[in-house]
């Protein structure tokens, strides 16, 4: 039986649980013990701090895990990145106080940089041929310059709001992260087969996220224009309606293009457009 490690609480917990739930996998008990038996898939769920997930997977305490690529890179653990999961997006960036005259990375030479990611920062500085002092601190990195602990910081950024609140300016984007499914590199045959099943379910869910299913009625003279607007997965389905001269057209479109498409379809003479949520795309 596969053992999956997910973050016990924090930013990745909700979406990790949500993704498993969409895949028909739920934690057996409502109470969050350290380990619980999943329902809907032969799997045990291990709840850990995100920092501990790469090591747990590398050591085989868990077979697979869901964790940010930033933690995987920082911990330097030898695990397989199986698939990216499309949530938990963030970047690791260098930021400096707004008031300093920063032109390029050479400004960092000899400076003190506070971070919780000394390994990734160390690699970046080495690549740039820069020497600087790395101050490892566990939390609230963003206040380090204001209290005189550092000249710059290297920290997680998503919207950048926290930096602005602390009078900082993002100057170098160093590492781009998102949540990923990682796996132990020495899984046996049976576990690999179970992992394949899980990957199949996750792929179908990720493929359907952000997609909508459209159904519409189209008069014969508009069919060609409507098909042109809706490339679909292969091409849209066109079915004749009981009333002659009318067709039903079915298609899958990205949510980001939904309203543009609807406006164009209406202008092309399409009527009665239904928009449905898509749960899965099984290929």
Residues that bind Mg ion (CB under 5 A): 50-51
Identify which of residues 84 and 135 has a Cβ nearer to ligand ATP in the complex: 84
- 264 membership: H or E segment, kind and range: helix 258-267
Site for ligand ATP in 2-41 (CB under 6 A): 7, 10-12
Buried b or exposed e, range 142-180, using 16+ CB within 10 angstroms: bebbeeeebbbbbbbbeeeeebeebebbbbbebbebebb
Identify which of residues 50 and 63 has a Cβ nearer to Mg ion in the complex: 50
Q: Using alpha carbons, select from 58, 60, 71 the residue that is nearest to residue 7.
A: 71
If contact means CB under 5 to 8 A according to the sort of partner, which of Mg ion, ligand ATP, none does residue 145 touch?
Answer: none
Identify which of residues 7 and 36 has a Cβ nearer to ligand ATP in the complex: 7
Identify which of residues 85 and 226 has a Cβ nearer to ligand ATP in the complex: 85
If contact means CB under 5 to 8 A according to the sort of partner, which of Mg ion, ligand ATP, none does residue 90 touch?
Answer: ligand ATP
Tokens of 81: 């990145």
Identify which of residues 92 and 249 has a Cβ nearer to ligand ATP in the complex: 92
CB of 120 to ligand ATP, least distance (A): 12
> Residue 206: CA atoms inside 13 Å, Cβ hemisphere, count?
17
Residues 6+ apart with CB under 8 A from 248: 215, 216, 217, 218, 238, 239, 240, 241
> Residue 124: CA atoms inside 13 Å, Cβ hemisphere, count?
25
Q: Of the candidates 90, 144, 182, 265, which one interacts with ligand ATP according to CB under 6 A?
A: 90
Identify which of residues 63 and 71 has a Cβ nearer to ligand ATP in the complex: 71
- Please report whether residue 170 would count as binding ligand ATP according to CB under 6 A: no
Q: Of the candidates 23, 47, 64, 70, which one interacts with ligand ATP according to CB under 6 A?
A: 70
Residues facing residue 274 across a β-bridge: 215
Rounded Cα–Cα distance for residues 81 and 78 (Å): 10
The alpha-helical segments, DSSP class H, found in 8-149 are 13-22, 53-59, 69-75, 118-128
If contact means CB under 5 to 8 A according to the sort of partner, which of ligand ATP, Mg ion, none does residue 93 touch?
Answer: none
Site residues (vs ligand ATP, CB under 6 A): 7, 10-12, 49-51, 68, 70-71, 88, 90, 156, 158, 177
């Amino acid at each position: 039986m596969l053992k999956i490690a997910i973050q016990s609480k924090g930013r990745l917990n909700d979406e990790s649980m949500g993704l498993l739930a969409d895949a028909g996998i739920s934690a057996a008990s409502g109470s969050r013990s350290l380990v619980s038996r999943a329902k809907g898939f032969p799997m045990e769920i291990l709840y850990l701090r995100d920092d501990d997930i790469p090591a747990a997977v590398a050591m085989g305490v868990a077979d697979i895990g869901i964790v940010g690529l930033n933690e995987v890179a920082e911990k330097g653990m030898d695990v397989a990145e199986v698939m990216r999961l499309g949530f938990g997006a963030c970047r690791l960036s260098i930021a400096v106080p707004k008031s300093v005259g920063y032109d390029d990375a050479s400004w960092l030479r000899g400076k003190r940089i506070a971070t919780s990611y000394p390994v990734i920062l160390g690699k970046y500085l080495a690549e740039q041929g820069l020497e600087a002092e790395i101050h490892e601190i566990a939390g609230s990195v963003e206040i380090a310059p204001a209290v005189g602990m550092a000249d710059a910081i290297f920290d997680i950024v998503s919207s950048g709001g926290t930096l602005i609140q602390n009078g900082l300016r993002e100057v170098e984007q160093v590492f781009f992260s998102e949540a990923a499914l990682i796996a132990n590199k020495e899984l046996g045959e049976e576990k690999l087969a179970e992992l394949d099943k899980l990957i199949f379910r996750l792929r179908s869910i990720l493929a359907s996220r952000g997609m909508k299913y459209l159904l519409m009625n189209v008069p014969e003279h508009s069919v060609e224009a409507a098909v042109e607007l809706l490339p679909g997965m292969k091409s849209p389905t066109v079915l004749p309606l009981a009333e002659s001269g009318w067709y039903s057209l079915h298609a899958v479109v990205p949510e980001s293009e939904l309203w543009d498409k609807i406006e164009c379809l209406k202008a092309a003479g399409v009527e009665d457009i239904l928009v449905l949520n898509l749960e899965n795309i099984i290929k």
